[in-house]
Structure 1
Protein backbone atom coordinates (compact mmCIF):
# COMPACT_ATOMS: atom_id res chain seq x y z
CA UNK A 1 0.00 0.00 0.00
CA UNK A 2 1.47 3.36 -1.06
CA UNK A 3 1.51 6.53 1.02
CA UNK A 4 -1.40 7.80 -1.08
CA UNK A 5 -3.50 4.71 -0.36
CA UNK A 6 -4.41 4.04 3.25
CA UNK A 7 -7.25 2.51 5.16
CA UNK A 8 -8.62 6.05 5.32
CA UNK A 9 -8.93 6.32 1.55
CA UNK A 10 -7.03 7.57 -1.47
CA UNK A 11 -5.92 11.13 -2.19
CA UNK A 12 -8.52 12.96 -4.26
CA UNK A 13 -5.86 14.13 -6.75
CA UNK A 14 -4.83 10.57 -7.50
CA UNK A 15 -8.40 9.32 -7.90
CA UNK A 16 -9.36 12.06 -10.34
CA UNK A 17 -6.11 11.78 -12.29
CA UNK A 18 -6.73 8.03 -12.67
CA UNK A 19 -10.26 8.84 -13.85
CA UNK A 20 -8.77 10.93 -16.66
CA UNK A 21 -10.05 14.28 -15.41
CA UNK A 22 -6.70 16.09 -15.54
CA UNK A 23 -3.16 15.92 -14.18
CA UNK A 24 -2.66 15.96 -10.42
CA UNK A 25 -1.25 19.48 -10.56
CA UNK A 26 -4.29 20.77 -12.46
CA UNK A 27 -6.62 18.97 -10.06
CA UNK A 28 -4.88 20.64 -7.12
CA UNK A 29 -5.69 23.98 -8.74
CA UNK A 30 -9.31 22.86 -9.11
CA UNK A 31 -9.42 22.05 -5.39
CA UNK A 32 -7.98 25.42 -4.40
CA UNK A 33 -10.51 27.14 -6.70
CA UNK A 34 -13.40 25.26 -5.06
CA UNK A 35 -14.44 23.49 -8.26
CA UNK A 36 -14.62 19.97 -6.81
CA UNK A 37 -17.29 18.54 -4.56
CA UNK A 38 -17.33 15.23 -2.66
CA UNK A 39 -20.80 14.00 -1.72
CA UNK A 40 -22.16 17.45 -2.47
CA UNK A 41 -19.68 19.39 -0.32
CA UNK A 42 -16.99 21.63 -1.79
CA UNK A 43 -13.46 20.40 -1.03
CA UNK A 44 -10.64 22.89 -0.46
CA UNK A 45 -8.11 20.66 1.33
CA UNK A 46 -5.27 19.38 -0.86
CA UNK A 47 -4.82 16.41 1.46
CA UNK A 48 -8.42 15.20 1.19
CA UNK A 49 -8.81 11.43 0.89
CA UNK A 50 -11.89 9.66 -0.41
CA UNK A 51 -13.34 6.19 -0.85
CA UNK A 52 -13.61 5.76 -4.64
CA UNK A 53 -16.12 2.91 -4.26
CA UNK A 54 -18.64 4.89 -2.25
CA UNK A 55 -17.98 8.62 -2.48
CA UNK A 56 -19.57 10.73 -5.23
CA UNK A 57 -17.35 13.34 -6.85
CA UNK A 58 -18.18 16.10 -9.31
CA UNK A 59 -16.06 18.76 -11.00
CA UNK A 60 -17.77 22.01 -12.04
CA UNK A 61 -21.08 20.29 -11.33
CA UNK A 62 -20.40 17.36 -13.67
CA UNK A 63 -20.37 13.89 -12.10
CA UNK A 64 -17.18 11.87 -12.44
CA UNK A 65 -17.21 8.11 -12.98
CA UNK A 66 -14.85 6.57 -10.44
CA UNK A 67 -16.03 2.96 -10.63
CA UNK A 68 -14.41 1.65 -13.81
CA UNK A 69 -16.35 -1.62 -13.56
CA UNK A 70 -19.51 0.22 -14.64
CA UNK A 71 -20.30 0.18 -18.35
CA UNK A 72 -22.55 2.59 -20.24
CA UNK A 73 -23.60 1.78 -23.81
CA UNK A 74 -25.87 3.50 -26.33
CA UNK A 75 -27.82 1.30 -28.75
CA UNK A 76 -29.81 2.34 -31.78
CA UNK A 77 -32.43 -0.38 -31.41
CA UNK A 78 -33.87 -1.49 -34.75
CA UNK A 79 -37.53 -2.31 -35.22
CA UNK A 80 -38.56 -5.91 -34.70
CA UNK A 81 -36.44 -6.31 -31.56
CA UNK A 82 -38.04 -6.53 -28.11
CA UNK A 83 -36.50 -4.63 -25.20
CA UNK A 84 -35.48 -7.55 -23.05
CA UNK A 85 -32.31 -9.59 -22.64
CA UNK A 86 -34.14 -12.89 -23.10
CA UNK A 87 -37.53 -13.18 -24.74
CA UNK A 88 -39.56 -16.19 -23.62
CA UNK A 89 -41.44 -16.24 -26.93
CA UNK A 90 -38.28 -16.52 -29.02
CA UNK A 91 -38.52 -13.08 -30.58
CA UNK A 92 -35.31 -11.17 -31.42
CA UNK A 93 -34.02 -9.59 -28.20
CA UNK A 94 -31.14 -7.40 -27.03
CA UNK A 95 -28.56 -10.13 -26.39
CA UNK A 96 -27.11 -9.83 -29.89
CA UNK A 97 -26.05 -6.24 -29.17
CA UNK A 98 -24.17 -6.94 -25.92
CA UNK A 99 -21.71 -9.60 -27.14
CA UNK A 100 -18.82 -7.14 -27.41
CA UNK A 101 -18.84 -6.44 -23.66
CA UNK A 102 -17.89 -8.95 -20.97
CA UNK A 103 -20.20 -7.36 -18.40
CA UNK A 104 -23.82 -8.42 -18.07
CA UNK A 105 -25.69 -5.39 -19.38
CA UNK A 106 -29.35 -4.46 -18.94
CA UNK A 107 -31.60 -2.00 -20.74
CA UNK A 108 -32.76 1.22 -19.09
CA UNK A 109 -36.50 1.32 -19.76
CA UNK A 110 -37.97 -0.04 -22.95
CA UNK A 111 -38.90 0.73 -26.52
CA UNK A 112 -41.69 -1.38 -27.97
CA UNK A 113 -40.81 -3.82 -30.73
CA UNK A 114 -41.91 -1.55 -33.57
CA UNK A 115 -40.18 1.55 -32.19
CA UNK A 116 -36.53 2.16 -33.04
CA UNK A 117 -33.95 4.46 -31.57
CA UNK A 118 -31.93 5.31 -28.49
CA UNK A 119 -31.75 2.73 -25.73
CA UNK A 120 -29.23 2.76 -22.87
CA UNK A 121 -27.57 -0.50 -21.81
CA UNK A 122 -25.63 -0.64 -18.54
CA UNK A 123 -24.58 -2.76 -15.57
CA UNK A 124 -25.09 0.22 -13.24
CA UNK A 125 -28.25 -0.86 -11.46
CA UNK A 126 -28.63 2.32 -9.41
CA UNK A 127 -28.49 4.51 -12.49
CA UNK A 128 -30.85 2.24 -14.43
CA UNK A 129 -33.47 2.29 -11.67
CA UNK A 130 -33.36 6.05 -11.26
CA UNK A 131 -33.50 6.86 -14.98
CA UNK A 132 -36.38 4.43 -15.56
CA UNK A 133 -38.41 5.65 -12.58
CA UNK A 134 -41.50 7.54 -13.87
CA UNK A 135 -41.42 10.18 -11.13
CA UNK A 136 -37.90 11.21 -12.14
CA UNK A 137 -39.28 12.48 -15.45
CA UNK A 138 -36.29 12.14 -17.78
CA UNK A 139 -37.02 14.01 -21.01
CA UNK A 140 -37.19 11.96 -24.20
CA UNK A 141 -37.52 13.20 -27.78
CA UNK A 142 -39.32 11.19 -30.47
CA UNK A 143 -39.87 11.67 -34.18
CA UNK A 144 -43.07 10.09 -35.45
CA UNK A 145 -44.25 9.57 -39.00
CA UNK A 146 -48.02 9.74 -38.84
CA UNK A 147 -50.98 9.36 -41.17
CA UNK A 148 -52.51 12.56 -42.50
CA UNK A 149 -51.45 16.18 -42.67
CA UNK A 150 -50.91 17.55 -39.18
CA UNK A 151 -52.00 21.15 -38.66
CA UNK A 152 -50.63 23.79 -36.26
CA UNK A 153 -53.90 23.48 -34.35
CA UNK A 154 -53.18 19.80 -33.71
CA UNK A 155 -49.67 20.62 -32.48
CA UNK A 156 -51.23 23.12 -30.07
CA UNK A 157 -53.59 20.41 -28.77
CA UNK A 158 -50.67 18.11 -28.00
CA UNK A 159 -48.94 20.72 -25.85
CA UNK A 160 -52.13 22.05 -24.26
CA UNK A 161 -53.11 18.56 -23.15
CA UNK A 162 -55.49 15.82 -24.23
CA UNK A 163 -57.53 13.27 -22.34
CA UNK A 164 -56.64 9.58 -22.62
CA UNK A 165 -58.28 6.56 -21.01
CA UNK A 166 -55.71 6.63 -18.20
CA UNK A 167 -55.87 10.38 -17.61
CA UNK A 168 -54.75 13.68 -19.15
CA UNK A 169 -51.38 14.10 -20.82
CA UNK A 170 -49.54 16.99 -22.45
CA UNK A 171 -46.33 17.03 -24.46
CA UNK A 172 -43.53 19.16 -23.05
CA UNK A 173 -42.88 20.31 -26.61
CA UNK A 174 -44.30 19.46 -30.03
CA UNK A 175 -43.48 20.68 -33.51
CA UNK A 176 -44.26 19.79 -37.07
CA UNK A 177 -41.22 18.91 -39.14
CA UNK A 178 -40.86 19.42 -42.89
CA UNK A 179 -43.77 17.48 -44.39
CA UNK A 180 -41.74 16.80 -47.54
CA UNK A 181 -39.35 14.65 -45.51
CA UNK A 182 -42.14 12.19 -44.83
CA UNK A 183 -42.81 11.59 -48.50
CA UNK A 184 -45.74 12.36 -50.77
CA UNK A 185 -48.13 9.86 -49.23
CA UNK A 186 -50.22 12.28 -47.18
CA UNK A 187 -48.15 11.72 -44.04
CA UNK A 188 -46.44 14.11 -41.63
CA UNK A 189 -43.41 14.13 -39.37
CA UNK A 190 -43.98 15.22 -35.77
CA UNK A 191 -41.37 15.73 -33.07
CA UNK A 192 -42.61 15.17 -29.52
CA UNK A 193 -40.73 15.85 -26.29
CA UNK A 194 -42.11 14.03 -23.24
CA UNK A 195 -41.08 13.12 -19.72
CA UNK A 196 -43.96 10.70 -19.16
CA UNK A 197 -43.23 7.00 -18.72
CA UNK A 198 -46.76 5.83 -19.49
CA UNK A 199 -47.27 2.79 -21.67
CA UNK A 200 -47.04 3.49 -25.44
CA UNK A 201 -47.82 7.13 -24.71
CA UNK A 202 -46.53 8.64 -27.98
CA UNK A 203 -48.60 6.31 -30.14
CA UNK A 204 -51.71 6.82 -28.01
CA UNK A 205 -51.40 10.62 -28.00
CA UNK A 206 -51.07 10.89 -31.76
CA UNK A 207 -53.87 8.41 -32.39
CA UNK A 208 -56.10 10.44 -30.06
CA UNK A 209 -55.67 13.55 -32.23
CA UNK A 210 -56.45 11.59 -35.40
CA UNK A 211 -52.95 10.81 -36.67
CA UNK A 212 -51.95 7.17 -36.07
CA UNK A 213 -48.21 6.49 -35.99
CA UNK A 214 -46.70 4.49 -38.83
CA UNK A 215 -43.03 4.88 -37.81
CA UNK A 216 -41.49 5.98 -34.52
CA UNK A 217 -37.91 6.62 -33.43
CA UNK A 218 -36.50 7.92 -30.15
CA UNK A 219 -33.74 10.42 -30.92
CA UNK A 220 -32.87 11.64 -27.43
CA UNK A 221 -32.87 10.35 -23.86
CA UNK A 222 -32.03 12.99 -21.26
CA UNK A 223 -28.68 14.51 -22.28
CA UNK A 224 -27.92 11.76 -24.81
CA UNK A 225 -28.47 12.20 -28.55
CA UNK A 226 -28.62 9.33 -31.06
CA UNK A 227 -26.64 11.31 -33.62
CA UNK A 228 -25.44 9.29 -36.62
CA UNK A 229 -25.31 5.90 -34.87
CA UNK A 230 -26.70 3.40 -37.42
CA UNK A 231 -29.67 1.17 -36.57
CA UNK A 232 -28.51 -2.07 -34.98
CA UNK A 233 -25.21 -0.60 -33.77
CA UNK A 234 -24.04 0.03 -30.21
CA UNK A 235 -21.18 2.07 -28.78
CA UNK A 236 -19.87 3.06 -25.38
CA UNK A 237 -20.72 6.52 -24.13
CA UNK A 238 -17.98 9.12 -24.30
CA UNK A 239 -16.53 10.57 -21.09
CA UNK A 240 -18.61 13.72 -21.60
CA UNK A 241 -21.79 11.69 -22.17
CA UNK A 242 -21.13 9.55 -19.08
CA UNK A 243 -20.61 12.66 -17.00
CA UNK A 244 -23.85 14.20 -18.22
CA UNK A 245 -25.81 11.00 -17.60
CA UNK A 246 -24.37 10.41 -14.12
CA UNK A 247 -25.01 14.05 -13.21
CA UNK A 248 -28.64 13.66 -14.23
CA UNK A 249 -29.02 10.41 -12.29
CA UNK A 250 -27.42 11.77 -9.12
CA UNK A 251 -29.88 14.64 -9.00
CA UNK A 252 -32.46 12.08 -7.88
CA UNK A 253 -30.15 9.90 -5.82
CA UNK A 254 -32.48 10.23 -2.84
CA UNK A 255 -35.23 8.14 -4.44
CA UNK A 256 -35.52 4.93 -2.37
CA UNK A 257 -34.70 1.79 -4.35
CA UNK A 258 -37.80 0.00 -3.07
CA UNK A 259 -39.96 2.66 -4.76
CA UNK A 260 -38.50 1.98 -8.19
CA UNK A 261 -40.07 -0.39 -10.73
CA UNK A 262 -38.34 -3.67 -11.49
CA UNK A 263 -39.88 -3.90 -14.97
CA UNK A 264 -40.28 -0.53 -16.72
CA UNK A 265 -43.18 -0.29 -19.14
CA UNK A 266 -42.84 0.11 -22.86
CA UNK A 267 -43.30 3.86 -23.18
CA UNK A 268 -44.07 4.49 -26.83
Structure 2
Protein backbone atom coordinates (compact mmCIF):
# COMPACT_ATOMS: atom_id res chain seq x y z
CA UNK A 1 0.00 0.00 0.00
CA UNK A 2 1.22 3.46 -0.80
CA UNK A 3 2.88 5.50 1.89
CA UNK A 4 0.97 8.49 0.58
CA UNK A 5 -1.60 9.11 2.03
CA UNK A 6 -14.35 18.28 15.39
CA UNK A 7 -14.72 15.55 16.64
CA UNK A 8 -14.33 12.67 19.02
CA UNK A 9 -13.20 9.12 18.43
CA UNK A 10 -15.66 6.30 18.82
CA UNK A 11 -15.97 3.95 21.76
CA UNK A 12 -12.60 3.44 23.46
CA UNK A 13 -11.09 6.01 21.06
CA UNK A 14 -8.46 8.62 21.78
CA UNK A 15 -9.14 12.32 21.98
CA UNK A 16 -6.82 14.72 20.27
CA UNK A 17 -6.65 18.52 20.46
CA UNK A 18 -8.55 20.16 17.64
CA UNK A 19 -6.35 21.85 15.05
CA UNK A 20 -6.80 23.21 11.57
CA UNK A 21 -6.25 20.46 9.00
CA UNK A 22 -5.11 21.01 5.44
CA UNK A 23 -8.71 20.98 4.31
CA UNK A 24 -12.22 20.31 5.55
CA UNK A 25 -13.19 16.62 5.46
CA UNK A 26 -16.69 15.36 4.62
CA UNK A 27 -19.25 15.71 7.40
CA UNK A 28 -20.54 12.16 7.18
CA UNK A 29 -19.00 8.72 7.00
CA UNK A 30 -20.74 7.07 4.10
CA UNK A 31 -20.46 3.56 2.75
CA UNK A 32 -20.89 2.04 -0.65
CA UNK A 33 -23.72 -0.28 0.27
CA UNK A 34 -25.16 -2.63 -2.33
CA UNK A 35 -28.06 -4.92 -1.89
CA UNK A 36 -28.30 -8.06 -3.91
CA UNK A 37 -30.70 -10.94 -4.23
CA UNK A 38 -30.01 -13.46 -1.44
CA UNK A 39 -28.66 -16.69 -2.84
CA UNK A 40 -29.32 -20.18 -1.63
CA UNK A 41 -26.50 -22.78 -1.44
CA UNK A 42 -26.83 -23.77 -5.09
CA UNK A 43 -26.24 -20.19 -6.30
CA UNK A 44 -29.93 -19.74 -7.21
CA UNK A 45 -32.16 -17.04 -5.82
CA UNK A 46 -34.09 -18.38 -2.85
CA UNK A 47 -37.86 -18.52 -3.05
CA UNK A 48 -38.46 -18.66 0.70
CA UNK A 49 -38.57 -21.32 3.37
CA UNK A 50 -37.26 -24.10 1.15
CA UNK A 51 -33.65 -23.08 1.72
CA UNK A 52 -33.69 -22.10 5.37
CA UNK A 53 -30.50 -22.87 7.29
CA UNK A 54 -30.49 -25.89 9.55
CA UNK A 55 -29.29 -24.49 12.86
CA UNK A 56 -29.51 -25.57 16.43
CA UNK A 57 -32.74 -24.07 17.77
CA UNK A 58 -32.63 -24.95 21.47
CA UNK A 59 -29.55 -22.96 22.49
CA UNK A 60 -27.54 -20.01 21.30
CA UNK A 61 -28.47 -16.36 20.79
CA UNK A 62 -31.52 -15.01 19.01
CA UNK A 63 -30.70 -13.91 15.50
CA UNK A 64 -32.47 -10.56 15.95
CA UNK A 65 -30.23 -9.75 18.92
CA UNK A 66 -27.10 -10.68 16.99
CA UNK A 67 -28.09 -8.40 14.10
CA UNK A 68 -28.96 -5.52 16.44
CA UNK A 69 -25.59 -5.82 18.16
CA UNK A 70 -23.90 -5.69 14.76
CA UNK A 71 -25.51 -2.33 14.04
CA UNK A 72 -28.56 -3.21 11.94
CA UNK A 73 -31.04 -1.19 13.98
CA UNK A 74 -33.89 -2.00 16.33
CA UNK A 75 -35.41 -5.42 16.94
CA UNK A 76 -38.24 -4.63 14.53
CA UNK A 77 -35.76 -3.51 11.85
CA UNK A 78 -33.82 -6.75 12.27
CA UNK A 79 -37.01 -8.81 12.10
CA UNK A 80 -37.82 -7.08 8.82
CA UNK A 81 -34.38 -8.02 7.44
CA UNK A 82 -35.07 -11.65 8.30
CA UNK A 83 -38.65 -11.81 7.03
CA UNK A 84 -37.69 -10.30 3.66
CA UNK A 85 -35.01 -12.92 3.04
CA UNK A 86 -31.99 -10.62 3.35
CA UNK A 87 -30.18 -12.76 5.94
CA UNK A 88 -28.18 -15.91 5.26
CA UNK A 89 -26.67 -18.30 7.77
CA UNK A 90 -23.99 -20.69 6.55
CA UNK A 91 -24.98 -19.87 2.97
CA UNK A 92 -28.73 -20.46 3.30
CA UNK A 93 -31.51 -17.87 3.57
CA UNK A 94 -33.38 -17.82 6.88
CA UNK A 95 -36.78 -16.23 7.44
CA UNK A 96 -37.81 -17.74 10.75
CA UNK A 97 -38.24 -15.24 13.59
CA UNK A 98 -36.74 -16.14 16.96
CA UNK A 99 -34.16 -18.47 15.47
CA UNK A 100 -31.26 -19.16 17.83
CA UNK A 101 -27.74 -19.36 16.43
CA UNK A 102 -24.16 -19.66 17.61
CA UNK A 103 -22.35 -16.57 16.21
CA UNK A 104 -19.00 -17.99 17.26
CA UNK A 105 -19.18 -20.80 14.71
CA UNK A 106 -21.83 -19.84 12.17
CA UNK A 107 -21.29 -17.44 9.26
CA UNK A 108 -23.90 -14.70 8.85
CA UNK A 109 -24.41 -12.50 5.79
CA UNK A 110 -26.82 -9.57 5.43
CA UNK A 111 -27.37 -8.33 1.87
CA UNK A 112 -24.28 -10.27 0.86
CA UNK A 113 -22.05 -8.69 3.50
CA UNK A 114 -20.46 -10.94 6.09
CA UNK A 115 -20.78 -10.00 9.75
CA UNK A 116 -17.62 -10.13 11.85
CA UNK A 117 -18.84 -11.36 15.23
CA UNK A 118 -15.52 -12.42 16.73
CA UNK A 119 -15.13 -10.01 19.65
CA UNK A 120 -11.41 -10.71 19.85
CA UNK A 121 -10.85 -9.06 16.45
CA UNK A 122 -10.86 -5.28 16.27
CA UNK A 123 -10.44 -2.91 13.33
CA UNK A 124 -9.94 0.78 14.01
CA UNK A 125 -9.91 3.93 11.87
CA UNK A 126 -7.19 6.43 12.76
CA UNK A 127 -6.93 9.93 11.33
CA UNK A 128 -3.13 9.98 11.25
CA UNK A 129 -1.74 13.47 11.83
CA UNK A 130 1.15 14.87 9.85
CA UNK A 131 4.64 14.20 11.21
CA UNK A 132 3.75 10.77 12.59
CA UNK A 133 5.63 7.67 11.40
CA UNK A 134 3.48 4.76 10.20
CA UNK A 135 5.26 2.29 12.47
CA UNK A 136 4.98 0.99 16.01
CA UNK A 137 8.42 2.40 16.85
CA UNK A 138 10.93 4.73 15.24
CA UNK A 139 14.73 4.57 15.68
CA UNK A 140 14.91 8.33 15.11
CA UNK A 141 12.59 9.03 18.03
CA UNK A 142 9.77 10.57 15.98
CA UNK A 143 6.10 10.19 16.91
CA UNK A 144 4.80 6.73 16.00
CA UNK A 145 1.50 4.85 16.17
CA UNK A 146 1.84 3.45 19.69
CA UNK A 147 0.16 6.47 21.27
CA UNK A 148 -2.97 5.76 19.23
CA UNK A 149 -3.12 2.02 19.97
CA UNK A 150 -2.55 2.27 23.73
CA UNK A 151 -6.27 2.65 24.61
CA UNK A 152 -7.07 -0.71 23.01
CA UNK A 153 -6.38 -3.93 24.93
CA UNK A 154 -5.78 -5.82 21.68
CA UNK A 155 -2.40 -5.66 19.99
CA UNK A 156 -3.14 -3.68 16.84
CA UNK A 157 -0.99 -3.20 13.75
CA UNK A 158 -1.24 -0.70 10.92
CA UNK A 159 -2.60 -1.81 7.54
CA UNK A 160 -0.21 -0.30 5.02
CA UNK A 161 1.40 3.08 5.55
CA UNK A 162 1.10 6.80 5.09
CA UNK A 163 4.30 8.76 4.75
CA UNK A 164 5.58 11.16 7.41
CA UNK A 165 4.06 14.27 5.79
CA UNK A 166 0.75 12.66 4.79
CA UNK A 167 -2.30 12.66 7.03
CA UNK A 168 -5.62 10.89 6.93
CA UNK A 169 -7.23 7.48 7.06
CA UNK A 170 -5.10 4.62 8.36
CA UNK A 171 -6.57 1.29 9.47
CA UNK A 172 -5.32 -0.52 12.57
CA UNK A 173 -6.32 -4.15 13.17
CA UNK A 174 -5.41 -7.46 14.76
CA UNK A 175 -7.18 -9.39 11.98
CA UNK A 176 -4.27 -10.78 9.98
CA UNK A 177 -6.33 -12.12 7.07
CA UNK A 178 -8.18 -8.84 6.60
CA UNK A 179 -4.90 -6.90 6.70
CA UNK A 180 -3.34 -9.24 4.14
CA UNK A 181 -6.19 -8.86 1.70
CA UNK A 182 -6.37 -5.09 2.07
CA UNK A 183 -2.69 -4.72 1.20
CA UNK A 184 -2.29 -7.45 -1.43
CA UNK A 185 -2.25 -6.02 -4.99
CA UNK A 186 -4.49 -8.78 -6.36
CA UNK A 187 -7.51 -7.44 -4.44
CA UNK A 188 -7.07 -3.92 -5.88
CA UNK A 189 -8.71 -2.04 -3.02
CA UNK A 190 -8.96 1.57 -4.16
CA UNK A 191 -7.97 4.55 -2.06
CA UNK A 192 -8.89 8.22 -2.41
CA UNK A 193 -6.62 11.19 -1.67
CA UNK A 194 -7.19 14.92 -1.61
CA UNK A 195 -4.13 16.81 -2.88
CA UNK A 196 -3.34 20.50 -2.37
CA UNK A 197 -0.66 22.30 -4.36
CA UNK A 198 0.38 25.76 -5.49
CA UNK A 199 -1.10 26.58 -8.89
CA UNK A 200 -1.01 30.27 -9.86
CA UNK A 201 -3.80 30.73 -12.35
CA UNK A 202 -5.31 27.35 -11.50
CA UNK A 203 -4.23 23.82 -12.50
CA UNK A 204 -3.31 23.38 -16.15
CA UNK A 205 -6.05 21.99 -18.36
CA UNK A 206 -4.15 18.81 -19.06
CA UNK A 207 -3.32 17.81 -15.47
CA UNK A 208 -6.45 15.81 -14.64
CA UNK A 209 -6.42 14.19 -18.07
CA UNK A 210 -2.75 13.21 -17.65
CA UNK A 211 -3.45 11.64 -14.24
CA UNK A 212 -6.36 9.63 -15.67
CA UNK A 213 -4.52 8.49 -18.79
CA UNK A 214 -1.28 7.69 -16.97
CA UNK A 215 2.07 9.31 -16.28
CA UNK A 216 5.57 7.91 -16.52
CA UNK A 217 7.50 7.33 -13.29
CA UNK A 218 10.99 5.96 -12.77
CA UNK A 219 9.53 2.55 -11.81
CA UNK A 220 6.95 2.41 -14.60
CA UNK A 221 3.68 4.09 -15.63
CA UNK A 222 1.02 5.03 -13.07
CA UNK A 223 -2.61 5.93 -13.66
CA UNK A 224 -5.40 7.29 -11.46
CA UNK A 225 -8.72 5.45 -11.66
CA UNK A 226 -10.48 8.79 -11.17
CA UNK A 227 -9.35 12.41 -10.82
CA UNK A 228 -11.21 15.70 -10.49
CA UNK A 229 -10.59 19.30 -9.44
CA UNK A 230 -12.29 20.11 -6.13
CA UNK A 231 -11.26 23.75 -5.73
CA UNK A 232 -9.06 26.48 -7.19
CA UNK A 233 -8.68 30.16 -6.36
CA UNK A 234 -5.96 31.38 -8.69
CA UNK A 235 -3.18 30.68 -6.20
CA UNK A 236 -3.59 27.05 -5.24
CA UNK A 237 -5.70 24.09 -6.28
CA UNK A 238 -7.19 20.98 -4.66
CA UNK A 239 -7.49 17.80 -6.72
CA UNK A 240 -9.01 14.48 -5.64
CA UNK A 241 -7.53 11.28 -7.05
CA UNK A 242 -8.52 7.65 -6.60
CA UNK A 243 -6.21 4.76 -7.41
CA UNK A 244 -5.59 1.20 -6.32
CA UNK A 245 -1.83 1.02 -6.79
CA UNK A 246 0.41 0.73 -3.74
CA UNK A 247 3.82 1.90 -4.80
CA UNK A 248 5.91 4.05 -2.51
CA UNK A 249 4.77 7.73 -2.44
CA UNK A 250 2.96 7.19 -5.72
CA UNK A 251 0.53 10.12 -5.42
CA UNK A 252 3.26 12.63 -4.68
CA UNK A 253 5.39 11.26 -7.52
CA UNK A 254 2.53 11.40 -10.01
CA UNK A 255 2.04 15.11 -9.35
CA UNK A 256 5.80 15.73 -9.34
CA UNK A 257 5.98 14.19 -12.83
CA UNK A 258 3.71 17.01 -14.00
CA UNK A 259 5.73 19.70 -12.22
CA UNK A 260 3.68 20.08 -9.03
CA UNK A 261 4.87 19.57 -5.45
CA UNK A 262 2.06 18.78 -3.04
CA UNK A 263 1.77 21.08 -0.04
CA UNK A 264 -0.80 18.85 1.69
CA UNK A 265 -2.00 15.29 1.14
CA UNK A 266 -4.85 13.56 2.98
CA UNK A 267 -6.20 10.05 2.43
CA UNK A 268 -9.97 10.21 2.81
CA UNK A 269 -11.10 6.69 1.85
CA UNK A 270 -10.02 3.06 1.77
CA UNK A 271 -12.48 0.84 -0.10
CA UNK A 272 -15.94 1.54 1.34
CA UNK A 273 -14.67 3.25 4.53
CA UNK A 274 -14.56 7.05 4.64
CA UNK A 275 -12.59 9.26 7.02
CA UNK A 276 -15.58 11.51 7.60
CA UNK A 277 -15.20 14.22 10.26
CA UNK A 278 -12.84 12.26 12.51
CA UNK A 279 -10.40 14.75 14.06
CA UNK A 280 -6.64 14.42 13.44
CA UNK A 281 -5.21 12.01 16.02
CA UNK A 282 -8.61 10.52 16.91
CA UNK A 283 -9.68 6.89 16.47
CA UNK A 284 -12.93 4.97 16.24
CA UNK A 285 -13.82 1.33 15.80
CA UNK A 286 -15.51 0.26 12.59
CA UNK A 287 -19.18 -0.53 13.04
CA UNK A 288 -20.39 -4.01 12.25
CA UNK A 289 -21.96 -2.80 9.01
CA UNK A 290 -18.79 -0.99 7.93
CA UNK A 291 -16.68 -4.03 8.67
CA UNK A 292 -19.04 -6.33 6.79
CA UNK A 293 -18.88 -4.09 3.73
CA UNK A 294 -15.09 -3.92 3.94
CA UNK A 295 -14.81 -7.71 4.26
CA UNK A 296 -17.06 -8.17 1.22
CA UNK A 297 -14.77 -5.84 -0.71
CA UNK A 298 -11.88 -8.29 -0.25
CA UNK A 299 -13.89 -11.47 -0.58
CA UNK A 300 -14.17 -12.53 3.06
TM-score, with structure 2 as normaliser: 0.71
Aligned to 1:225: 274
**Number of aligned positions between the proteins:** 242
Cα deviation per residue 1:216-255 (whole Å; 9 max; x = unaligned)?
1111111111121111111222343233223323x2x4xx
Aligned to 1:263: none
TM-superposed deviation, 1:193? 0.8
Inter-CA distance 66–152: structure 2 relative to 1 (3 Å threshold): same
Within 2, Cα distance between the matches of 1:153 and 1:20? 45
Within 2, Cα distance between the matches of 1:157 and 1:19? 43
Match of 1:177 among 206, 227, 230: 230
Q: Give ranges in structure 2 of 5+ residues lacking alignment.
A: 1-56
| Bigger relative CO (Cα 8 Å, ≥ 6 apart) | 2
Aligned to 2:213: 160
Cα deviation per residue 1:82-109 (whole Å; 9 max; x = unaligned)?
1111223322100111122111111111
Match of 1:67 among 118, 130, 133: 118
Cα deviation per residue 1:166-204 (whole Å; 9 max; x = unaligned)?
222210111122112xxx6x4321111111111111011
Aligned to 1:52: 103
TM-superposed deviation, 1:156? 0.5
Whether 1:127 and 2:182 are equivalent positions in the alignment is no
* SS of residue paired to 2:241: strand
Counterpart mapping for 1:38-49 below 5 A: 38-43=89-94
Q: Give ranges in structure 1 of 5+ residues lacking alignment.
A: 254-268
The answer (yes or no) to whether the contact 2:59–2:101 under 8 Å persists in 1 is: no
Whether 1:3 and 2:52 are equivalent positions in the alignment is no
TM-superposed deviation, 1:17? 5.4
TM-score, with structure 1 as normaliser: 0.79
Within 2, Cα distance between the matches of 1:91 and 1:26? 48
Cα deviation per residue 1:136-168 (whole Å; 9 max; x = unaligned)?
111111111123342221110110112222222
Within 1, Cα distance between the matches of 2:70 and 2:276? 26
Within 2, Cα distance between the matches of 1:138 and 1:91? 29
Segment of structure 1 superposing worse, 77-86 or 33-42: 33-42
The answer (yes or no) to whether the contact 1:75–1:235 under 8 Å persists in 2 is: yes
Inter-CA distance 225–23: structure 2 relative to 1 (3 Å threshold): closer
Within 1, Cα distance between the matches of 2:74 and 2:279? 35
Within 1, Cα distance between the matches of 2:62 and 2:122? 24
Aligned to 1:206: 255
Aligned to 2:204: 151
Inter-CA distance 113–15: structure 2 relative to 1 (3 Å threshold): same
